[in-house]
C-alpha cells in the first residue's frame, strides 16, 4: 500500500505525528494515569514513605486501557509482592549481616523470577516483581537491625500496594468498561476506512494500515472481560464478536478498493464511506449495526475486479453483526499449565534469566564498591529494559535512552524553574499529573513509541520527586540519570555479546504459518470463519512486519543481510496483495479454490524445508481461471518465495522490480 505524497517527503516527522495521533481510549488512559499518579503523590507525601518516585512510577504498570484489566492486574501485583516480601522476610535473618549471602540471595531470587518471567504466565509482570524483590534485598544493605530491616521490607510492599489500591478505586469509579472500549475501537477503524475511501492520500492512511495489520488486537480479551463483568448479554457479545471479525475483513476489502485505479467507482466509494461513518456512530453509542443495506452504484464499464470487490463488501455488510448459529462445544483440551511447554527444555529461558541477572548484579556490585548509591537506578534499569531477543532489547534501550534524556531535561528544568515556587502538595501533584498525562499519552500508543513514555516518566519522577518535600538538589537528579544510562549500557553490552538471540530465526517459520493460514482461508466455506481467519492473518502479518523492522536494531555479527531482509519484505508484500483477492473469490465452492490452497501449502512446506520453491501447479482448473483476481498476486508470491532461496542478486532484482 503506497504512502501519501506528504509522508514520502517528511517520513520521520509524519510517522512520529501519526504515532502520537489521538484515538478514542488514548485520552481516557492518560487522564486516569495522571489522576492515579497525583493521588499516589498525595499519599506518599503525607505518610513520607521512602522512594516516593519509584512508588509513583509503579502506577504505569498497574493501569490498563479498561477497568477490568486494571483491577485484575492491580490485585495480582499486590498478591505477588505479598508472597515475595514474605519470602524475603524469611531470608532476612540469614543475610542481613552477611554481605556475601545477601548478594547471593539477590542473584538467586532475581534468576528465579526472571526465569518465570520468560517461561511462565508471569511474563507480563515477572520483571517488575523481580525488580522490587531485588531492590528490597538491596535495602537490607543499609539496615543492620532486624526491626529496621523489617520496616524497610514493609515499605517495599507499599511501593506496589499504594498505587495498586489507588488504581483499583480510580478504575472502579471512572475506568471505561471493556464493552465500551470494543465499540470505540471498531468505530475508530470504520472511520479510518471511510477517510481513506474518500481520499486514498489522506494523512490517516498510515493509521489505517496499522489497524489493518493489527487484526482483532485486544478486542477478544475485552469481550471476555465484558462477559465476566456481566455488562452485556451473551447475544450482544456474540454480535460484537461478529462485528469485530467483519471489520477486519472489511478493512482488507477497502484496502483492495483504494488500490484500484479509475473513477468508475467514485460514487460508490463516497456512498460506502457515508455508510461506514453511520455504522461507526452506532458502535460509538454502545450499539451494533444490523440490517445494513449498501447498493453500489457502478458504471457499466467498471472492471470486473472492482465489481467483485463491492459485491463482497455488500454481502459482508448485510451480515456485519449477525452472530453465527452456535456450534457444538469443541472437545475438551488439556489446560495449559503455569509454565510454558518448553520451559525446561528451551535454553533461551535460562540464558535470558542469567543475562538479565548478570547485568543487574554487575550494576549492584559496581555502585556498592564505588560507594555511590545515587546511581542505584542502574540496578532498577536492568530489569526494565531486558527482553528476549537482542533486537527487542536494543530497540527498547534506544527508546528508553531517548525518553530518559527528555525526561531528565524536563526534570532538571522543573527543579531550576518550577520547584522553587512550589509551596504545597497540591502544586507538586499538579506537576506530577501533568508529566504523567504526557507519559500516558505516549505509553498508550504503539509499542514502537510506548517505551519512550515509560522512561520519560521514570527519569522525570526520579529527578523531581526526591523526598517527602520539595527538593532542589541537582546532584540527586544527575546521579539518577547517570544510573539509568549506565544500566542501559551494561544491558546492551551483555545482551549483544553473550548468547545473542536474533529475531531472524522466527521470521521464516512465521511466514510459513501465515501461508498455511491463507490456505485455510481458501478452503473455508463458512463465511464468518473466513472473516475470523482473515483477522488472524492480518495480526500475523503485522507481527511479521514488526520482526523485520526489529532486525535493523541487531548488531552486525548477527544482523541479517539487507538482501535477506528485502526478500522477506517482498514475500510479505506479495502475501498482503493476496489477502484481498482471497476474500473476493468464492474459492471454497470451486476446485479452483482447492488448487490455490494446495499452492499455498506447498510454499509453506518449501519454507519449512528450506529448499527451492516448487514449480507452479498446471492444473486444468487453474488454467481455466486465467483472469481470476488471485492469479497474478499468487504468481508474484511464488516468485518472491523463490527469491528467498536464490542468490542475493535475484532477491535484489525482485525487490527493485
Which tens digits make up the pLDDT trace of 182-207? 999 999 999 999 999 888 776 777 78
* Residues 544/484, Cβ–Cβ less than 8 Å: no
Strand partners, 120: 339
Q: Is the pLDDT of residue 157 over 50?
A: yes
- CB neighbours of 648 closer than 8 A, spacing ≥ 6? 561, 563
- CB neighbours of 279 closer than 8 A, spacing ≥ 6? 187, 190, 289, 292, 320
Distance (Å) of CA 330 to CA 326, 337, 537: 11, 20, 22
- Spatial separation of the C-alpha atoms in residues 102 and 83, rounded to whole Å: 19
What are 443-457's pLDDT values in tens digits?
Answer: 887 776 888 888 888
Mean pLDDT of 318-328: 74
pLDDT given at position 564: 83
User: Following DSSP, what letter does each residue of 80-98 receive, concatenated?
Assistant: HHHHHHHHHHHHHHHHTT-
* Residues 344/91, Cβ–Cβ less than 8 Å: no
pLDDT given at position 144: 57
Return mean pLDDT, the chain: 80
**Residues 402-434 as b or e (16 or more Cβ within 10 Å = b):** ebbbbbbebbbebbeebbeebeeeeebbebbbe
- Spatial separation of the C-alpha atoms in residues 202 and 208, rounded to whole Å: 10
Q: How many Cα atoms occupy the beta-carbon half-sphere of 165 within 13 Å?
A: 11
What are 262-284's pLDDT values in tens digits?
Answer: 666 788 888 888 999 999 999 88
Q: Which of 38-52, 366-380, 636-650 has the lowest mean pLDDT?
A: 636-650
Q: Is the pLDDT of residue 4 over 70?
A: no
- Spatial separation of the C-alpha atoms in residues 515 and 533, rounded to whole Å: 12
* Residues 53/153, Cβ–Cβ less than 8 Å: no
What are 537-566's pLDDT values in tens digits?
Answer: 888 888 888 888 888 888 777 788 888 888
Mean pLDDT of 310-316: 85
* Residues 129/81, Cβ–Cβ less than 8 Å: yes
- Hey, how many other C-beta atoms are within 10 angstroms of the C-beta on 512? 19
Joined grid coordinates for residue 343: 520451559
Cell 476506512, residue located = 193
**Which has the closest alpha carbon to 613: 656, 558, 570?**
570
Q: Is the pLDDT of residue 647 over 90?
A: no
pLDDT given at position 617: 42
pLDDT given at position 657: 38
Q: Which of 251-255, 489-493, 540-544, 617-621 has the lowest mean pLDDT?
A: 617-621
Q: What is the reported pTM? A: 0.80
Percent of the chain with pLDDT over 70: 84
Joined grid coordinates for residue 539: 495480526
* Residues 579/534, Cβ–Cβ less than 8 Å: yes
What are 509-541's pLDDT values in tens digits?
Answer: 888 888 888 888 888 777 778 778 888 888 888
What are 378-423's pLDDT values in tens digits?
Answer: 888 888 777 777 888 788 778 878 888 898 889 888 888 888 888 8
Alpha-carbon radius of gyration of the chain: 27
Amino acid at each position: 500500500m503506497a504512502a501519501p505524497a506528504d509522508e514520502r517527503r517528511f517520513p520521520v516527522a509524519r510517522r512520529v505525528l501519526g504515532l502520537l495521533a489521538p484515538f478514542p481510549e488514548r485520552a481516557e488512559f492518560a487522564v486516569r494515569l495522571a489522576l492515579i499518579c497525583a493521588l499516589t503523590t498525595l499519599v506518599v507525601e503525607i505518610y513520607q514513605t521512602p522512594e516516593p518516585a519509584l512508588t509513583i512510577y509503579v502506577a504505569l504498570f498497574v493501569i490498563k486501557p479498561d477497568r477490568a484489566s486494571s483491577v485484575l492486574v492491580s490485585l495480582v501485583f499486590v498478591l505477588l509482592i505479598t508472597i515475595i516480601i514474605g519470602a524475603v522476610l524469611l531470608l532476612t535473618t540469614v543475610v542481613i549481616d552477611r554481605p556475601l549471602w545477601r548478594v547471593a540471595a539477590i542473584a538467586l531470587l532475581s534468576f528465579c523470577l526472571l526465569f518465570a518471567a520468560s517461561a511462565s504466565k508471569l511474563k507480563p509482570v515477572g520483571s517488575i516483581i523481580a525488580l522490587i524483590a531485588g531492590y528490597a534485598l538491596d535495602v537490607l544493605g543499609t539496615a543492620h537491625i532486624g526491626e529496621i530491616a523489617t520496616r524497610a521490607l514493609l515499605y517495599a510492599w507499599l511501593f506496589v500496594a499504594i498505587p495498586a489500591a489507588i488504581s483499583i478505586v480510580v478504575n472502579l469509579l471512572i475506568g471505561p468498561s471493556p464493552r465500551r472500549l470494543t465499540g470505540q475501537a471498531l468505530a475508530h477503524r470504520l472511520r479510518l476506512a471511510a477517510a481513506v475511501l474518500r481520499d486514498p492520500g489522506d494523512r490517516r492512511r498510515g493509521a489505517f494500515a496499522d489497524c489493518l495489520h493489527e487484526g482483532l488486537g485486544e478486542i477478544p480479551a475485552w469481550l471476555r472481560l465484558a462477559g465476566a463483568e456481566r455488562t452485556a448479554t451473551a447475544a450482544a457479545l456474540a454480535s460484537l464478536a461478529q462485528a469485530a471479525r467483519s471489520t477486519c475483513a472489511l478493512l482488507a476489502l477497502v484496502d483492495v478498493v483504494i488500490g484500484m485505479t479509475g473513477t468508475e467507482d467514485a460514487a460508490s466509494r463516497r456512498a460506502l464511506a457515508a455508510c461506514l461513518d453511520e455504522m461507526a456512530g452506532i458502535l460509538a453509542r454502545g450499539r451494533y449495526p444490523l440490517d445494513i443495506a449498501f447498493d453500489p452504484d457502478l458504471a457499466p464499464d467498471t472492471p470486473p475486479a472492482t465489481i467483485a470487490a463491492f459485491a463482497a463488501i455488500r454481502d459482508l455488510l448485510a451480515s456485519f453483526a449477525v452472530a453465527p448459529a452456535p456450534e457444538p462445544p469443541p472437545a475438551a483440551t488439556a489446560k495449559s499449565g503455569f509454565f510454558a511447554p518448553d520451559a525446561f527444555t528451551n535454553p533461551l529461558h535460562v540464558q535470558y534469566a542469567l543475562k538479565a541477572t548478570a547485568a543487574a548484579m554487575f550494576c549492584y556490585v559496581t555502585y556498592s564498591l564505588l560507594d555511590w548509591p545515587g546511581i542505584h537506578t542502574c540496578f532498577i534499569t536492568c530489569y526494565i529494559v531486558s527482553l528476549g531477543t537482542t533486537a527487542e532489547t536494543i530497540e527498547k534501550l534506544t527508546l528508553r535512552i531517548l525518553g530518559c534524556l527528555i525526561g531528565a531535561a524536563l526534570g532538571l528544568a522543573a527543579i531550576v524553574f518550577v520547584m522553587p515556587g512550589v509551596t504545597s502538595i497540591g502544586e507538586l501533584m499538579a506537576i506530577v499529573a501533568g508529566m504523567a498525562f504526557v507519559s500516558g499519552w505516549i505509553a498508550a500508543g504503539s509499542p514502537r513509541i510506548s517505551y519512550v513514555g515509560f522512561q520519560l516518566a521514570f527519569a522525570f519522577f526520579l529527578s523531581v520527586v526526591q523526598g517527602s518535600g520539595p527538593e532542589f538538589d541537582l546532584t540527586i537528579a544527575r546521579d539518577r540519570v547517570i544510573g539509568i544510562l549506565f544500566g542501559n549500557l551494561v544491558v546492551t553490552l551483555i545482551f549483544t555479546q553473550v548468547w545473542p538471540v536474533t529475531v531472524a530465526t522466527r521470521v521464516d517459520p512465521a511466514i510459513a504459518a501465515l501461508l498455511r493460514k491463507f490456505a485455510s482461508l481458501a478452503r473455508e466455506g463458512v463465511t464468518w470463519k473466513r472473516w475470523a481467519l482473515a483477522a488472524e492473518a492480518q495480526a500475523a502479518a503485522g507481527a511479521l512486519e514488526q520482526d523485520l523492522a526489529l532486525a535493523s536494531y541487531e548488531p552486525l555479527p548477527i544482523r541479517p543481510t539487507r538482501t535477506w531482509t528485502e526478500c522477506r519484505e517482498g514475500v510479505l508484500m506479495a502475501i498482503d496483495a493476496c489477502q484481498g483477492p482471497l476474500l473476493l473469490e468464492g474459492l471454497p465452492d470451486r476446485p479452483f479454490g482447492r488448487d490455490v490452497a494446495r499452492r499455498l501449502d506447498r510454499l509453506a512446506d518449501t519454507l519449512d524445508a528450506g529448499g527451492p520453491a516448487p514449480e507452479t501447479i498446471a492444473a486444468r482448473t487453474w488454467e481455466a481461471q486465467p483472469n481470476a483476481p488471485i492469479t497474478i498476486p499468487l504468481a508474484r508470491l511464488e516468485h518472491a518465495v523463490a527469491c528467498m532461496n536464490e542468490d542475493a542478486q535475484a532477491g535484489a532484482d525482485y525487490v527493485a522490480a
